[in-house]
């Protein structure tokens, strides 16, 4: 009998098998009292509200978590496998999208921890969250993102775990952290020709440009390191961070002319240094005011009008947020601004960009029903806006139901407007065991 056509590369199939093998090996100690395990298998579907070919997802997924501990340490493993039958047979998507999304597996985290005195050392694939912003990235710059589901997926679901060594130690009222990332990983844009491909992730047009080289960021060239501290100064929660890493989105540098007359480009991920701080103050009456500021030195931006195709400028991101707890709801309002300090004409980024978000997150019926409502826009609101609702319901302990609605408004080129007329509903049902 011929081998089945899984519609994915051999490496992806091997990755799926490898993930299952590691989870099975780790779970062999299932009789240990300290072992924690949890799994979910389910179905997920998505429906576009406009146009033809409205069904955009027919997914079967499996998620599993394993944790165990002993006197001197522990391990934590969490992975998922997704198979999307929408890419079977006739479908409106590209071969690249089919190859990348039909069968996919990834580790959400997989690491071992060891206690060293008052601190702990962790080694493996990890996610690191800096700052307290609600689904916005100011200080939270360590892990890249997978945009296969566009710009609306929760960060928890779209972060890409990185291989790193991390050490955390308390010092008085403070917690100090040092991390060393051993491998470079870029943001993953939606596959060309996939459901969430958009001008936001456009590459240089192939009829004019030839992208024929990318520097090698393996080994020492791909490392990153960071430091953070969290503590209190009086009544204020304070955090400070430092990160030296490579940009996670490409910058295109001009190398000359190709033999066919096209402009030759090199796709680069330049190194930068970020320093930032976050403050949070309990203002009383169930109100918390928080802010974050991050300064990026040596930030490079594509600029087609420059001789070498790019420019360098410091970049600042800032956020001001207010959280208000009322009964079973957490109401959060945030204003984020990004500014290119040494902006030049031709840069493929506005001098200033603003984003306002308003969210309400609640838990009801003894935590069986959880809801998240979001409104986000870049002023003027009519040019770039999102309305989102996410509901999760567990009628019984072994069943989890999900519903999500995403409505996009605005002009082409905007973060949300680029998906105008691609409003969608998403459904899921999972069996927990």
Token output for 230: 């969290």
| 179 domain-assigned | no
Q: Which of 51, 85, 112 is the last residue of a domain?
A: 112
Q: Which domain holds residue 59?
A: 37-112
User: Do you know the residue count of the chain?
Assistant: 433
pLDDT, position 306: 84
Rounded to whole angstroms, how far apart are CA atoms 334 and 321? 4
Q: Which of 112, 136, 160 is the last residue of a domain?
A: 112
| 161 domain-assigned | no
Q: In the structure, what pLDDT confidence band is assigned to residue 98 with cuts at 50, 70 and 90? A: very high
Q: Is the dihedral of CA 16, 20, 22, 23 positive or negative?
A: positive
| 184 domain-assigned | no
Tens digit of each residue's pLDDT (9 = 90 or more) over 270-299? 999 999 999 999 999 999 999 999 999 999
Consecutive H or E run containing 24: helix 10-26
| 391 domain-assigned | yes
| 103 domain-assigned | yes
- Residue 55 Cα distances to 218, 390, 425, 426, angstroms: 39, 19, 10, 10
| 251 domain-assigned | no
| 43 domain-assigned | yes
The number of distinct structural domains making up the chain is 2
- Within 46-91, where are the H helices? none
Tens digit of each residue's pLDDT (9 = 90 or more) over 151-182? 999 999 999 999 999 999 999 999 999 999 99
Burial of 322 (0-12, 13-18, 19+ CB in 10 A): middle
Q: Which of 69, 84, 112 is the last residue of a domain?
A: 112
| 86 domain-assigned | yes
pTM: 0.91
Can you spell out the DSSP letters for 116-161? ETTEEEEEEEE----S--SS--SS--SS-BB-TTTT-S-HHHHBPP
């Amino acid at each position: 009998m011929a081998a089945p056509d899984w519609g994915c590369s051999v490496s992806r199939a091997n990755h799926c098998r490898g993930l299952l093998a590691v989870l099975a090996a780790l779970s062999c100690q299932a009789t240990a009292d300290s072992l924690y395990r949890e799994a979910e298998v389910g179905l997920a579907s998505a429906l576009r509200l406009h146009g033809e070919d409205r069904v955009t997802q027919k997914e079967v997924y499996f998620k599993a978590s394993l944790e165990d501990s002993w006197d001197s340490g522990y391990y934590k493993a969490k992975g998922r496998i997704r198979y999307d039958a929408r890419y079977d047979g006739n479908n409106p998507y590209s071969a690249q999208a089919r190859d990348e999304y039909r069968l996919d597996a990834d580790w959400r985290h997989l690491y071992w921890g060891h206690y060293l005195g008052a601190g702990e050392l962790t080694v493996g694939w990890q996610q690191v969250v800096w700052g307290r912003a609600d689904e916005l990235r100011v200080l939270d710059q360590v892990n890249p993102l997978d945009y296969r589901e566009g710009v609306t997926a929760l960060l928890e679901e779209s972060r890409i775990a990185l291989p790193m060594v991390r050490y955390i130690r308390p010092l008085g009222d403070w917690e100090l952290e040092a991390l060393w990332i051993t491998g470079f990983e870029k943001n993953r844009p939606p596959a060309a020709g996939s459901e969430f491909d958009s001008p936001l992730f456009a590459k240089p047009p192939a009829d004019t440009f030839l992208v024929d080289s990318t520097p090698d960021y393996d080994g020492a060239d791909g490392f990153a390191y960071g430091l953070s501290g969290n503590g209190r100064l009086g009544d204020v929660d304070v955090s400070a961070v430092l990160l030296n890493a490579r940009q996670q989105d490409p910058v295109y540098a001009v190398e000359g002319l190709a033999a066919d007359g096209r402009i030759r480009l090199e796709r680069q991920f330049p190194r930068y240094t970020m320093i930032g701080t976050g403050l949070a103050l309990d203002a009383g009456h169930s109100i918390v005011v928080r802010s974050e500021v991050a300064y990026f030195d040596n930030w490079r931006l594509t600029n087609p009008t420059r001789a070498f195709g790019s420019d360098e400028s410091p970049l600042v991101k800032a956020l001001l947020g207010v959280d208000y707890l009322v009964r079973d709801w957490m109401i959060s309002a945030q204003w984020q601004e990004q500014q290119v300090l040494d902006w030049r004409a031709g840069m493929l980024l506005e001098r200033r960009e603003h984003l306002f978000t308003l969210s309400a997150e609640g838990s009801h019926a003894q935590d069986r029903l959880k809801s998240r409502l979001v409104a986000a826009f870049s002023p003027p609101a009519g040019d770039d806006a999102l309305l989102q609702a996410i509901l999760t319901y567990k009628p019984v302990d072994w069943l989890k139901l999900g519903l999500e609605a995403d409505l996009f408004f605005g002009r082409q080129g905007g973060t949300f407007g680029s998906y105008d007329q691609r409003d969608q509903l998403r459904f899921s049902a999972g069996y927990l065991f």
